[in-house]
Amino acid sequence: MSRFFSSKYEKLVPYTPGEQPKNMKYIKLNTNESPFPPSEKAVAAAAEIAKTLQLYSDPEVTPLVEKMSEVFGVDKDEVLMTNGSDEILNFAFMAYCDKDHPAAFPNISYGFYPVFAEINNLPYEEIPLREDFTINVDDYIGINKTIFIANPNAPTGIALPVSEIEKIIKSNPDNVVVIDEAYVDFGAESCVPLIKKYDNLLVTQTFSKSRSMAGARLGFGIANKKLIQDLNTIKYSTNPYNINRMTMAAGVGVLCDEEYTKKNCQTIIENREYTVKELKKIGFEILDSSSNFIFAKHPNKDGKEIYLELKERGILVRHFDKPLLSQYNRITIGTKEQMQALIDNLKEMVK
Ligand code: PMP
């Protein structure tokens, strides 16, 4: 730290992204990316618009917002596009949390939530999950806090039904409830239809997972238009050109190829079910995942040891060196071949 760094960030512990190895070719199952390339329509559209990169991007992201409104069945003013969903989550912390509206989220969830709270100097409460890693909805009823829930949750993969989430939204009418649906396309139910019914609901999603565009950085929020106006105030006060021209074009391209996205999600779901079945046969305990990853532990082998040994064997998974989580590894679901390699290696390791 330099002697110039503001004391307000003295204690800030930044988010640790998953490893992006440069030195060696791993089977990369550690950051929940898609194993499939982006849609050809996305790639072609990005390449074409690259010829006009001398121009700023459109701050209103017009063609993409139009396409979003068509695909998601919402009005154009109910959508905000952001630089990854990380950006809209940060905007939501900035816009809706303060000392009268502290943030609240599960103690085991997306690791960026406490970082967003800290960097914005906001009070927050981490609400423990049940012992089986499920969210107890009763803990969120009428708590009068700005609530952030990842559904499905990460790194557990466990989803709540919309009917349960609705109870939380309904019982906190004077606070915003943010449902982070980064992984919703792999088997969970979306809360998007509820935005017409509740003015305190913000749903966030991403193009990073089901739409194979993690490197393009594209996320979005869907909510009542007044919430979108607030979030636009934050956006226009930080970075009006948050979506670059190539990302915008690629976003339109992939939304014109929903069949491709659906097919890939279906394949990931099938590969997940296969992996779970095979790993259970050799003794792994796996939480019930509705995501493109699984959270798994083995009764006879330490979680960190599994992570390190897999890494040596050229397979990268995500290990969290934290109480409650350290016996587990989060494993992204890849292609059938990648999962077979994982299964074969784990079979050798635990026998
Ligand atoms: N929410 C959750 C639960 C995540 O795991 C991630 C991915 N790290 C994000 C949001 C953010 O993803 P992105 O910024 O790529 O949209």
Provide long-range contacts, Cβ within 8 A and 24+ apart, for 19-23.
19/316, 21/316
Ligand 1 pocket mutation, candidates 113, 180, 291, criterion most atoms within 8 A of CB: 180
Q: What is the pLDDT of residues 158-188, one digit of tens each?
A: 999 999 999 999 999 999 999 999 999 999 9
Instruction: Please list the pLDDT of the chain residue by residue as tens digits (351 residues).
Output: 999 999 999 899 999 888 888 877 899 999 999 999 999 999 999 999 999 999 999 999 999 999 999 999 999 999 999 999 999 999 999 999 999 999 999 999 999 999 999 999 999 999 999 999 999 999 999 999 999 999 999 999 999 999 999 999 999 999 999 999 999 999 999 999 999 999 999 999 999 999 999 999 999 999 999 999 999 999 999 999 999 999 999 999 999 999 999 999 999 999 999 999 999 999 999 999 999 999 999 999 999 999 999 999 999 999 999 989 999 999 999 999 999 999 999 999 998
Please give the number of the atom of ligand 1 that sits closest to the Cα of 208. 15
In whole angstroms, what is the distance from residue 303 CA to residue 325 CA? Answer: 9
Ligand 1 pocket mutation, candidates 16, 32, 81, 85, criterion most atoms within 8 A of CB: 85
Ligand 1 pocket mutation, candidates 34, 80, 112, 185, criterion most atoms within 8 A of CB: 112
- Check the CA dihedral 103-108-110-114 and report its sign: positive
Distance 188 CA to ligand 1 centre (A): 16
Distance 111 CA to ligand 1 centre (A): 10
**What's the count of helices (H) and strands (E) in the chain, helices before strands?**
10, 12
Please give the number of the atom of ligand 1 that sits closest to the Cα of 217. 15
Ligand 1 pocket mutation, candidates 206, 218, 247, 290, criterion most atoms within 8 A of CB: 206
Distance 84 CA to ligand 1 centre (A): 7
pTM over 0.85: yes
For residues 218 and 86, the answer to whether their CB atoms sit within 8 Å is no
- The DSSP symbol for 127 reads E
Distance 313 CA to ligand 1 centre (A): 27
Q: What is the pLDDT of residues 212-237, one digit of tens each?
A: 999 999 999 999 999 999 999 999 99
**b vs e for 336-351, b when ≥16 Cβ sit within 10 Å of the residue's Cβ?**
eebbebbbebbeeeee
Neighbours of 176 (CB within 10 A): 24
Encoded amino acid at 278, one letter: E
Q: Any residues with CB less than 8 A from the CB of 345 and at least 6 apart, and which?
A: 310, 313, 315
Lining ligand 1 with CB less than 6 A are: 84-86, 110, 150, 154, 180, 182, 206, 208, 214, 219
Please give the number of the atom of ligand 1 that sits closest to the Cα of 209. 15
The residue whose CA is least distant from atom 12 of ligand 1 is 85
Q: Starting from the edge strand earliest in sequence, which strands make up the sheet with 79-82, in order? A: 79-82, 219-223, 201-206, 177-180, 146-150, 103-106, 124-127
